């Protein structure tokens, strides 16, 4: 018998765990294409408030990362996932309450915001917990595979959830989103309850701020590259409406489909040529896609821009994360994943209000130029980190 499990067996183990990420992000994706228009058109609030409603979830994820990391490292990844799925179900309750209070816009908005905060906190537990659970089951040598499949699960769920949410509201009403989220969370809890947990790694737990300092440069590259996704996720429906185009949810789905295709086709490149090289190539493609969205004269070219952006953004997270997570010992892996992921939360949290203010002053197309410039910044930082790594090839061994 072979000493190591076959690649397909490893992949199946990983998929069985990142299924919970898929369920968690399906809950996030269902309201994604609906809420900006609901807040802006039905409740009567402006673009900045619509952006805030979307971004408050990411801010909640950002603030809950240290707590989620402690749960993962000390109590285990399985418990983190179970706590997170329970939070997803609770967010569905607040979604139901918001739908019931539509005639009272401020109360409906308040319920919506509370639900988004709960969902954001749940996201940090489910996303990072699934990564830690997967790595614990298949070994640190498969970190890139776990993170890549976790991303496929998350963005695949967003690609499915966005049009699903539109259909639910169109045919059943806003309340159906809340019910769907509650049922999905219950299904996730049922599946996770009896699944074997990964062992808790013993050893020194580095302080979270210490880990954060180690992964800071890589996280900044991720943050700059994530602004493109944040602008598309938050404002693509209003951007389409400003051009009087229909089917904005298809744009989100195409972004997600391109994201998944890139990870399936090129995910193995990270281990073969290194994370920094992959990040540099991906950020270059993402920049081109965002520039095309900025200049798009037609719906077809906007779809092409979204596809390019999704394709480029696809491997930025795992490419830089492999370089970042390797800077800490295994006993602090949960903290490293949480600290690194914190930067995408920060990026998405500030993108909504900031891009909303830019759109209010310069039009919705201008936010994609803003995102493209940010991606160029992430590209430049990745080039710098790559040059530093080639000059100091033993730095990883010295740190760990």
Q: What pLDDT score was predicted for residue 285?
A: 95
Q: State the Cα–Cα distance between residues 368 and 239, nearest whole angstrom.
A: 10
Burial 323-355 (b: 16+ CB within 10 A, else e): bbbbbbebebbbbbbbbbbbbbbbbbbbbbbbb
**Chain-centre distance for alpha carbon 267:** 17
Closest-CA residue to 222 (of 350, 379, 43): 379
Q: What pLDDT score was predicted for residue 204?
A: 65
Q: Is residue 74 within 8 Å of residue 200, measured between CB atoms?
A: yes
Q: State the Cα–Cα distance between residues 336 and 343, nearest whole angstrom.
A: 12
Predicted TM-score (pTM) of this structure = 0.72
Q: What pLDDT score was predicted for residue 166?
A: 84
**Chain-centre distance for alpha carbon 16:** 19
Q: State the Cα–Cα distance between residues 133 and 43, nearest whole angstrom.
A: 40
User: What are the CA-CA distances from residue 113 to residues 56, 94, 97, 373 (Å)?
Assistant: 7, 9, 11, 30
Full 3-state SS string of the chain: CCCCCCHHHHHHHHHHHHHHHHHHHHHHHCCCCCHHHHHHHHCCCCHHHHHHHHHHHHHHHHHHHHHHHHHHHHHCHHHHHHHHHHHHHHHHHHHHHHHHCCCCHHHHHHHHHHHHHHHHHHHHHHHHHHHHHHHHHHCHHHHHHHHHHHHHHHHHHHHHHHHHHHHHHHHCCCHHHHHHHHHHHHHHHHHHHCCCCCCCCCCCCCCHHHHHHHHHHHHHHHHHHHHHHHHHHHHHHHHHHHCCCCCHHHHHHHHHHHHHHHHHHHCCHHHHHCHHHHHHHHHHHHHHHHHHHHHCCCHHHHHHHHHHHHHHHCCHHHHHHHHHHCCCCHHHHHHHHHHHHHHHHHHHHHHHHHHHHHHHHHCCCHHHHHHHHHHHHHHHHHHHHHHHHHHCCCHHHHHC
Phi/psi class of residue 363: alpha, beta or left (left: φ > 0; alpha: ψ in -120 to 50)?
left
Q: What pLDDT score was predicted for residue 255?
A: 85
Q: State the Cα–Cα distance between residues 228 and 290, nearest whole angstrom.
A: 7
Q: What pLDDT score was predicted for residue 89?
A: 94
Q: Is residue 97 within 8 Å of residue 158, measured between CB atoms?
A: no
Closest-CA residue to 121 (of 94, 153, 81, 87): 87
Residues sharing a CB contact under 8 Å with residue 294, sequence separation 6 or more, in sequence order:
305, 365, 366, 368, 369, 372
Domains and CATH numbers, the chain: 7-399 (1.20.1250.20)
Q: What pLDDT score was predicted for residue 397?
A: 40
What string of pLDDT tens digits covers the 400 residues of the chain? Answer: 345 567 777 888 888 898 999 999 999 889 877 888 788 878 888 777 877 887 788 788 878 888 887 888 788 889 999 999 999 999 999 999 998 998 898 999 999 999 999 998 998 899 888 988 888 888 777 777 888 788 788 877 877 887 888 889 888 988 999 999 999 999 999 999 988 887 776 666 677 777 888 888 999 999 999 898 888 877 887 888 888 887 777 887 788 788 888 888 887 788 788 889 999 999 999 999 999 999 988 888 889 999 999 999 988 988 898 888 777 776 676 677 778 877 887 787 788 788 888 888 888 888 999 999 999 999 999 999 998 888 775 444 433 3
Q: What pLDDT score was predicted for residue 126?
A: 92
Q: What pLDDT score was predicted for residue 184?
A: 94
Q: State the Cα–Cα distance between residues 156 and 318, nearest whole angstrom.
A: 16
Q: What pLDDT score was predicted for residue 330?
A: 67
Q: Is residue 361 within 8 Å of residue 147, measured between CB atoms?
A: no
Phi/psi class of residue 255: alpha, beta or left (left: φ > 0; alpha: ψ in -120 to 50)?
alpha
Cα-Cα-Cα-Cα dihedral sign, residues 162, 166, 168, 169? positive
């Amino acid at each position: 018998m072979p000493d190591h499990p076959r690649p397909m067996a490893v992949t199946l183990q990983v998929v069985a765990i990142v299924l919970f990420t898929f369920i968690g992000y399906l809950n996030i994706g269902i309201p994604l294409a609906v809420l900006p228009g609901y807040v802006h058109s039905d409740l009567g609030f402006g673009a900045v408030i619509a952006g805030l409603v979307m971004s408050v979830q990411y801010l909640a994820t950002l603030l809950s990362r240290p707590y989620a990391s402690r749960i993962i490292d000390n109590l285990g990844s399985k418990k983190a996932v179970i706590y997170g799925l329970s939070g997803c179900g609770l967010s569905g309750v607040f979604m139901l309450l918001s739908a019931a209070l539509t005639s009272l816009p401020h109360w409906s908005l308040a319920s919506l915001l509370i639900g988004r905060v709960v969902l954001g906190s749940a996201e940090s537990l489910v996303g990072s917990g699934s990564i830690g659970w997967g790595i614990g089951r298949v070994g640190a040598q498969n970190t890139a595979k776990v993170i890549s499949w976790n991303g496929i699960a998350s963005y695949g769920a967003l690609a499915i959830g966005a049009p699903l949410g539109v259909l639910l509201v169109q045919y059943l009403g806003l309340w159906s989103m809340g019910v769907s989220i509650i049922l999905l969370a219950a299904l996730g809890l049922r599946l996770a309850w009896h699944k074997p947990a990964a062992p808790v790694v013993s050893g020194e737990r580095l302080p979270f701020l210490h880990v954060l300092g180690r992964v800071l440069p890589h996280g900044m590259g991720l943050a700059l590259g994530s602004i493109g996704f944040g602008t598309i996720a938050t404002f693509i429906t209003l951007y389409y409406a400003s051009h009087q185009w229909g089917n904005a949810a298809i744009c989100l789905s195409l972004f997600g489909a391109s994201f998944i295709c890139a990870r399936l086709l090129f995910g193995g490149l990270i281990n073969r040529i290194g994370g920094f090289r992959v990040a540099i190539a991906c950020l270059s493609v993402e920049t081109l896609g965002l520039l095309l969205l900025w200049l798009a004269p037609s719906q077809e070219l906007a779809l092409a821009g979204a596809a390019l952006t999704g394709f480029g953004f696809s491997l930025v997270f795992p490419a830089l994360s492999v370089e970042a997570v390797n800077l800490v010992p295994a006993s602090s892996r949960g903290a490293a994943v949480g600290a690194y992921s914190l930067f995408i939360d920060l990026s998405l949290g500030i993108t909504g209000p900031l891009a909303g203010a830019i759109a209010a002053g310069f039009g919705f197309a201008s936010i994609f130029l803003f995102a493209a410039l940010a991606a160029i910044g992430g590209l430049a930082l990745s080039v710098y980190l790559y040059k530093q790594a080639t000059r100091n090839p033993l730095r990883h061994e010295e740190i760990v």
